[in-house]
Amino acid sequence: MNEIVTATAQIERQGWRRLLAISGEAAWCAQQAADLMAQLPGDWLWVGNNTPERSLSCAPQAIRTLLGREFRHAVFDARDGFHAEAFAALAGTLCAGSWLVLLLPEWESWAQRPDADSLRWSEGDCPCASTHFVHRFQQLLLADERALLWRQHDHHPISFVAPQPEHWQTDNRGQQAILSGLLNAGPGIYALTAARGRGKSALAGMLAARWPGRSLVTAPAKVSTDVLAQYAGERFEFVAPDRLLADAEQLAPGVDWLLIDEAAAIPAPLLQRLVALFPRVLLTTTVQGYEGTGRGFMLKFCASLADVTHFQLDMPLRWAAGDPLEQLVADVLLFDDAVAPPQQSTPHYVSLIQDDWLRQPGRMAAVYQLLTSAHYRTSPLDLRRMMDAPGMHFQVAMQGESVQGALWLVDEGGLSAELATAVWAGKRRPRGNLVAQSLAAHAGSPEAARLRSRRISRIAVSPQLRARGIGRQLIVHGLEYTRGLDFLSVSFGFTPQLWRFWQRCGFHLVRIGSQLEASSGCYTAMALLPLSPAGQQLTASLAERLARNGYWLRQQLDPDGLPLADKFEPELTDDDWLELSGFAWAQRPYEASYAALGRLVSQDGVMLPLLRAALLERRSAADICAGFRFSGRKALLDAWRQEAQQGLAALDAARAETCQQQINSLQ
């Protein structure tokens, strides 16, 4: 163990961090980690689901609470599953001179072992193996001379990195230059991007401390602003984003700066409103990391704002340039989202499968990097899904050997009639099948979950080649591999421009959600491209239902720019009776049944005061609860269901009884 002490002293002098992977039987790995912890003083944060009894530990899913803090040495326990976002986030918390000890299953069997983390990113009920991810990780680890690998029943080498000419010192000149500019800044919006460890949160804290006026700080979670608070000192004032919006009239006057830390993790519609409230706004976000990419954030969100001044921090402050751990994590999780420049040649189109991660890993990596550059919410979770989740399909537009367009599709549907009906009734919600289940649960069509379909998960084209028909051609080529499917589907944040693209590709709009998407600030829209007679019948039925419900949907949302009909059709159809029966005697959501309920309360002679208050008088649930003395929304929902039962019985008692019996037979 003396060698590990010497190696630790060396990386501390050089300002680096290193990875030590320990692979073997679970007990043996734990013992090696315990020996290291006894030998090397430090914090030794342990991240894993089966943490030993110790004072400093964290479950992978809770790693977000540690962002902004700093530790010396850590253990990442991946013996049961590899939580990629937590691995990346943990690496970002380690200071210079630290080891990240990675506990792994036995080396030879690792790729075939079920990965417990796969339950987050695959759509199965049981864990699946991470064959492609593990194979690539093993190759990178073996090729990295600065990482250590200890395997049970094998020699445990301790290599030393090449010495640097000088003792490492922090170089904060870039940080100070940006700070000086901000301290003399006029009103406007300023964006600061950086990889982890570059001192962006510290810079924001120093701005708050040195600015002569008042500043407010906001972030997705206060716990992640520890570094900013440390540098701001007594000038640190934190207000949560929702409260800042709710109490803007009281909080905004007299404030010169709003400092928004990790802005890319705040929903875009909230950011749009926040930046309009204050004379100066600083948005800081991570260029790439566990939660997605700041470059995409800059392209998407900041491009929508006028006169944004952009700053970037490149030099690390918490460790030295060329840090071995940072480089290895970036390679493993493909944090470099650079896209190859376009060429003059005509694109050609190819189909790729997951095994191409083994045959042509560079091309698959380029696909992921292009998708990451175009979708700023893309994260390591998506990489894990892309590599190893069942039912993934890819179409790629190539210029020579460079990837310039990518289409990612996911198999959906095929649920049994019993399960699809349970989803429709609000009784079940199994994993996956995003569009197929939503059309059953919210659009009232269990048939959508029974049919076999394929959903477009991501589509991206290099910015310089957009508006040339490449996206449409990707879909056309994807259709060549859809034998046996009933429809293609897509879910997207509705904008007229985006909808025109999907229309040109042959899709039909079948659903518009009543809530704004957190990521895009738009209403969720779903569209289908039918591929079979059953798919055509489903698409026509859903499109007709959307048109008929347009009048009532307009009351639930801001209809500006949405292709919603406004014709009032009061008669109750067979579809309405089925929808109302599902609401009355099953667990169909109120929002999904809104239009049918609106038509129910519009019938002559039907007295339903609670539903009438909500649907015709448009009173809020809180107002109705107060007026009718309900304890809360749950009690009100139960009362709405009872009124729906009464309303159906008043219209046709015999039919209502038959409907109730049919619904009860499904449960």
The binding site comprises 175, 318, 459-461, 504
Residue type, 379: S
Residues in the chain, total: 667
Annotated binding-site ranges for ATP: 175, 318
CB of 157 within 8 A of CB of 30? no
Residues 6+ apart with CB under 8 A from 411: 390, 391, 392, 393, 452, 453, 454
Rounded CA separation 94/74 (Å): 8
DSSP at 188? E
Sign of the CA dihedral with 115 first, then 119, 120, and 121 last: positive
For 392: left if phi > 0, alpha if psi spans -120 to 50, otherwise beta; the answer is beta
DSSP at 342? P
- Contacts from 177-186 at CB under 8 Å and sequence distance 24+? 178/203, 178/311, 178/313, 179/203, 179/206, 179/207, 179/210, 181/311, 182/207, 182/282, 183/207, 183/210, 183/211, 185/280, 185/309, 186/280
Annotated binding-site ranges for acetyl-CoA: 459-461, 504
What are residue 487's DSSP bridge partners?
Answer: 453, 530
Give strand ranges (E) for 494-553. Answer: 508-516, 523-530
Rounded CA separation 505/473 (Å): 9
- What is the largest distance, in Å, between two alpha-carbon atoms of the chain? 91
- Contacts from 262-266 at CB under 8 Å and sequence distance 24+? 262/67, 262/219, 262/220, 262/224, 262/286, 262/291, 263/191, 263/297, 263/301, 264/291, 264/292, 264/293, 264/294, 264/296, 264/297, 264/301, 264/376, 265/220, 265/291, 265/292, 266/218, 266/219, 266/220, 266/241
* Distances in whole angstroms, Cα of residue 283 to Cα of each of 313, 334, 518: 13, 24, 18
Rounded CA separation 384/386 (Å): 5
Residues 6+ apart with CB under 8 A from 169: 15
Residue type, 372: T
